[in-house]
Amino acid sequence: MAHPTVSVVPDGQLVYGIQLPTVALSTMVAAPWEHDAGVADLVRAAQTADRAGFFYVCVCDHVAIPRELAGVMSTTWFNPVATLGFLAGQTERVRLLTNVYVAPYRHPLDTAKAFATLDALSGGRVILGVGAGHVAGEFDALGIDFADRGRLLDDAIDEIVAAWSDEFVGDVGLRPRPDQQPRPPIWVGGSTKPALRRVAERGDGWIPQGTPRKQMPEQIAYLRAHRDEVRPGAEPELGVITEACYVGDPSGDPPKGTITGSPEKIAESLREYADMGVRHLQLRLWSRSIDELCDQMDAFGTEVGPLLPIK
């Protein structure tokens, strides 16, 4: 079902956000220092993002990690609704994004109610990022057919949009209503062709999952070509997860490919994404402590952010 797109990124801006530390301790996403961090560090990071002008903070979603994957993924994955609800009361302006919420795990009306409530409590700051999920054993544990996850996600998006667009869905009604009008945006995560088609057909935005920079133009072209067939005129707000960045010259050895140096150098590199049509950046800021992460967030917001408007 094709839905009109809901836009939240201000015109002429290339906005940026960040995945919060400590809430997902997978070796694929977490820095070593996060394993010894706590709730106070999580709050500090969110409040720093809020103060430094970040457009959003985000959290991931897993329910139960299979034993054979626990060594790599860990079993620490904070519940996203509880976490963002808690952080809504600790922040004022920054938007609250899931990257991504595995909608096939839950009934769509339950998802619609949870995020409508969060939107109402936060003063209209929700961005619901959704994905199909990728851990087959997790689907098994929840009693859901892994092979059916794509259809379940499509149905979930349609039902959530319906529930946010009208108080009653069939014979049942949902309140509280979302604060944002006409509704909160739904950004779709994923970089496979089915995911790209889902963005084109249903998404208000796109969150690639690991797409290298050199492959972004090809994926954007595929997405837009399908968009032109099924939803002409729609403009999903395209995003990207960036390479690791570090404002200034780090004293240690950052991972290969980290973008370091002056604010001008970093901004010039990131503006290449804007030239591709990207509107929002999910930053990966290299850090070795909560202090360094917050210092980097402040430096990015103060020194790099002002250099990022789209020409």
Q: How far apart are CA 131 and CA 190, in angstroms?
A: 7
Q: Do the domain assignments include residue 3?
A: no
pLDDT at 231 (0 to 100)? 96
pLDDT at 102 (0 to 100)? 98
Instruction: Read off the CATH number of the domain in which 285 is found.
Output: 3.20.20.30
Q: Do the domain assignments include residue 111?
A: yes
Q: Do the domain assignments include residue 137?
A: yes
Q: Which amino acid is at 135?
A: V
Residue range(s) defining the domain that contains residue 142? 15-307
In total, how many domains does the chain have?
1
Q: Do the domain assignments include residue 87?
A: yes
Q: Do the domain assignments include residue 139?
A: yes
pLDDT at 223 (0 to 100)? 98
pLDDT at 218 (0 to 100)? 97
pLDDT at 58 (0 to 100)? 98
From the first residue on, what is the mean pLDDT of each consecutive set of 10 residues in the chain (311 residues)? Answer: 89 96 94 96 98 98 97 97 98 98 98 98 98 98 98 98 96 97 97 97 96 97 97 96 97 93 98 97 98 98 93 64
Q: Do the domain assignments include residue 107?
A: yes
pLDDT at 3 (0 to 100)? 82
pLDDT at 311 (0 to 100)? 64
pLDDT at 210 (0 to 100)? 85
Q: Do the domain assignments include residue 220?
A: yes
Q: What is the pTM of this model?
A: 0.96
Q: Do the domain assignments include residue 94?
A: yes
